[in-house]
Chain A
Amino acid sequence: MSNHDEKENNAHLTTPTRLTGSEIVWATLVGEGVTEVFGYPGGAILPIYDALRKFPIHHILVRHEQGAAHMADGYARASGKVGVAMATSGPGATNLVTGIATAMMDSIPMVCITGQVPSKVLGTDAFQEIDITGITLPITKHNFLITRTQDIAPAIRQAFQIAKSGRPGPVLVDITKDAQQSAAIFDFAAAKPAPYEPHPMLSVMGTHLREAADLIRTAKRPVILAGHGILQSNAGEQIRTLAERMQIPVGTTLLGLGSFPASHPLNMGMMGMHGESWVNHAIQEADLLIACGMRFDDRVIGTPSTYSPNSKKIHIEIDPAEINKNIKADVALVGDLRNVLEQLLPLLPGRDGSAWLNTIAASKGTAAVRDIKNLPDSGHLYAAHVMHDLWRITEGRAIVSTDVGQHQMWEAQYYRHDYPRTLITSGGLGTMGFALPSGIGAKVACPDKEVWVIAGDGGFQMTAAELATIVQEKLNVNIAIINNGYLGMVRQWQEFFYEKNYESTPLVSPDFVKLADAHGIPGLAVRTRAELESAVQTARSHNGAFLLNFLVEQEDSVYPMIPAGSALHEMIRRPDNPLVEKPQD
């Protein structure tokens, strides 16, 4: 039997069959609908890798296990499916940790499968033995140590259910080598976990719904806070109906970008530390906040005691542990966002919001005067221009993965996300090194979509080895490095809060174009605004990966900024910049 036939035959193992533990791993993954896995082999997981040839799953070999976890994460964020990462025991498993923590903080459904030493040597400090379930306890939704072959399928199936149900998150399944090698009866249907029952605490109570509806109907200055939960529960349409019917302006969180179209007249933009000033002001002046699938992160609220002091708060959230964590809720609706909104909308016939909307429009009009991208060309390239042009040229349709730092905030400010799942960024953990691998994962999930990786010169170097993965997988991923010669965001903090003591932030980097070239990826350096458009077009029209090294203004900062510990309206604004000509009023 040829390899191919064998793969076909194992595609639908519907009748109970005797298989090795390794085969059970793949058969279960096939049954769960998995088509791609990101990983790195090693002794303790070799039986599983050996069995792969029999199953119709594509394995993407990464260059570092952190890359595997971020790719699985990016895959999940772009597609809404569960991402799968694989690693061997010991160092392979520990290399996953940053990626698992990143997924945990942003509630990303992910299953990690790790090999473990044989069960009879567990606890003996055997070669490459590590207690990975212990290590990942606080950064997984749940994890399993599996020592018996017959437990593999039920554990993996349950891992998928836990990963995607309720508030999604990463789950790790650690399987000993002997369990991989022994055989057992595989019965996919029988391994099905008990159906997920929303917890009693998750049911929305009718009285709370009516209280919420009354608050929304009578509010004079309401604001919708749109979070990641909208994307997670596919509630985009319901949020839009709520905003349009009740004429309520919308501010989004970083991870909520794309959940409500950026170009929608009711969308004010991003809130928080680097949010738009008029959004933050609207929140401070609001008499009602309707928080949808967001958790009042400290980057969003500034100082809790000064946050939106005169408003009632309706908190719609799937995770009861988030209620009253940072901000006290007046009405809490605990449950899946779409579900809750579907129950809430019939109680909301309509409302005239024009007075409040006019106030916001006026404050938006005054604040937008010094928008850097409208200024005349001073010969300097600003990251804002890069983001704006990338948005314009790709018509906002590309999936953009970012790293962490200034460029991440500029992306959020200037790339206007009209479509869901087009921004892939590490919001909760703020993981540098995330952009390149998560962008790869997104491209694997959505091969027909244009994918742009946007990274700083610092973060890019953390996982740059994954360039080789792009080449090996022949992926058409475009890379934009926003190269300012500094660990830019840290430099900005040093400028603002540490008297410009630029300790350890100037950054010597390799020639990124040559680095790409060494991998067989073409690239270009871009120094001026004049070169910007054609460079982006060159990258787009190239069939395959392309790298652009944008040499941008070195000491530019992200404005506005709310210093950590200040109130939402206490923003540092862009000072008159001698490098930039004054706008002509």
Chain B
Amino acid sequence: MLHTFVAYVEDKPGVLTRVASLFRRLNINIISLAVGHSERPGISRMTIVCDAPDQAADRIRASLYKLDDVVDVDDIAKAPNVTRELALIKVAANAHNRSHIFELAEVFRARIVDLAPESLMIEITGVESKIEGLIQVLNETEDRVLEVCRSGKMTMRRGKHSTGVLRAMGAGEPDIPKPGNLPLENGPDNFADNI
């Protein structure tokens, strides 16, 4: 199952390693990781999408909090949100087939941002499926995709339901993880057979 976390981290050397190392230690694969400056000076914002067992979210969130450089963590889970990804796609194209790619780009509301004699570059933003869709269509019409560069997912809660807003309004804290009827994360019988 895919989980999406937003982590505010101090902008210091080694922070990315710490975060990545935590996922490695929990044996969880990071699907995408997007990092950039946030609204707070000296603090970067990471959007981490990972593939983990259904009930792992609380533990990942708590483990992220334990890192000293992590200031805040939000688990987007199923909260209403806006999610975007940016992709640059370089496609083999010459004077003969360009116009057809222009049309495709139009349909997907993508932009052509570079044009060379043998190739062109498409910029597209949107949800993951939209980007996947464009790449798929390009492949189906046998336009040769030469290079794909994707930013990874970026996510923000909709409206006022963000931790930052709540905190600014003094409305309290993010949800405290409440233990539900959680099945075990790593299968039932993970014991260490060591002395």
Binding site for B on A (CB under 8 A): 133-134, 137-138, 141-142, 145, 162, 167, 199-201, 203, 205, 298-299, 302-305, 315, 319-321, 323-326, 328-332, 334, 405, 430, 489-490, 493, 564-565
Contact = CB atoms under 8 A, between A and B. Distances in A.
B55 interface: yes
Given A329-B179, A330-B179, A201 B65 contact: yes
B21 A137 contact: yes
A329 B68 CA distance: 26
A302 B68 CA distance: 33
A305 B184 CA distance: 9
29 contacts: A134-B17, A137-B21, A138-B21, A141-B68, A142-B68, A145-B14, A167-B66, A199-B65, A200-B174, A298-B192, A303-B191, A304-B188, A304-B191, A305-B184, A319-B62, A320-B177, A323-B58, A323-B59, A323-B62, A323-B177, A324-B58, A328-B181, A328-B182, A330-B179, A331-B179, A332-B179, A489-B195, A490-B195, A565-B191
B172 to A, nearest CB: 9
Contact of A320 (B17, B62, B184): B62
Contacts of B185: 324-325
A302 B191 contact: yes
Interface string B56-88: 001100110111110000000000000000000
Contacts of A141: 66, 68
Task: Give the top 9 A-B pairs by smallest Cβ distance, nearest first.
Answer: A305-B188, A320-B62, A200-B173, A321-B62, A142-B68, A298-B191, A329-B179, A564-B193, A321-B63
Nearest to A493: B195
B190 interface: yes
A205 B188 contact: no
Given A201-B177, A329-B179, A330-B179, A324 B55 contact: yes
A237 B27 CA distance: 39
A325 B59 contact: yes
Contacts of B189: 303-305, 565
A55 B14 CA distance: 33
B25 interface: yes
A330 B176 CA distance: 14
B62 A304 contact: no
B18 interface: yes
B191 A201 contact: no
Given A199-B65, A320-B65, A328-B179, A304 B195 contact: no
B179 A564 contact: no
Interface of B: 13-14, 17-18, 21, 25, 55, 58-59, 62-63, 65-69, 173-174, 176-179, 181-185, 188-195
A487 to B, nearest CB: 9
B191 to A, nearest CB: 4
Given A145-B14, A201-B65, A564-B192, 10 more contacts: A137-B18, A142-B68, A145-B13, A298-B191, A299-B192, A302-B191, A321-B66, A325-B185, A489-B195, A565-B193
Nearest to A326: B184
A321 B58 CA distance: 8
A324 B14 contact: no
A145 B12 CA distance: 11
A379 to B, nearest CB: 30
B59 A321 contact: yes
Contacts of B62: 201, 319-321, 323
B68 A304 contact: no
A196 to B, nearest CB: 11
A328 B184 contact: yes
B14 A133 contact: yes
Contacts of B184: 304-305, 326, 328
Most chain B CB atoms below 10 A, which of A141, A298, A320: A320
Most chain B CB atoms below 10 A, which of A141, A199, A203: A199
A572 to B, nearest CB: 15
Contacts of A145: 13-14
A323 B179 contact: yes
A433 to B, nearest CB: 15
Contacts of A326: 184, 190
A41 B25 CA distance: 33
A380 B34 CA distance: 67
Contacts of B18: 137
Contacts of B17: 134, 137
Nearest to A330: B179
Nearest to A297: B192
Nearest to B163: A200
A304 B190 contact: yes
A298 B189 CA distance: 10
A425 to B, nearest CB: 15
B179 A430 contact: no
A299 B194 CA distance: 10
Nearest to B60: A321
A201 B157 CA distance: 20
A204 to B, nearest CB: 9
A302 B18 CA distance: 32
B174 to A, nearest CB: 7
Contacts of A324: 55, 58-59, 179, 182, 185
Contacts of A405: 195
Given A304-B190, A493-B195, A162 B68 contact: yes
Contacts of B179: 315, 323-324, 328-332
A316 to B, nearest CB: 13
Contacts of A201: 62, 65, 173, 176-177
Contacts of B69: 142
Contacts of A134: 17
A319 B66 contact: yes
Contacts of A430: 194-195
A523 B68 CA distance: 48
Contacts of B59: 321, 323-325
A323 B190 CA distance: 16
Contacts of B190: 298, 304, 326
Nearest to A492: B195
Contacts of B67: 142
A440 B105 CA distance: 73
Contacts of B25: 138
A80 B154 CA distance: 45
Nearest to B68: A142
A305 B191 CA distance: 10
Contacts of B68: 141-142, 162
Nearest to B189: A303
B184 to A, nearest CB: 6
A300 to B, nearest CB: 11
A167 B62 CA distance: 13
A138 B20 CA distance: 11
Most chain B CB atoms below 10 A, which of A321, A332, A489: A321
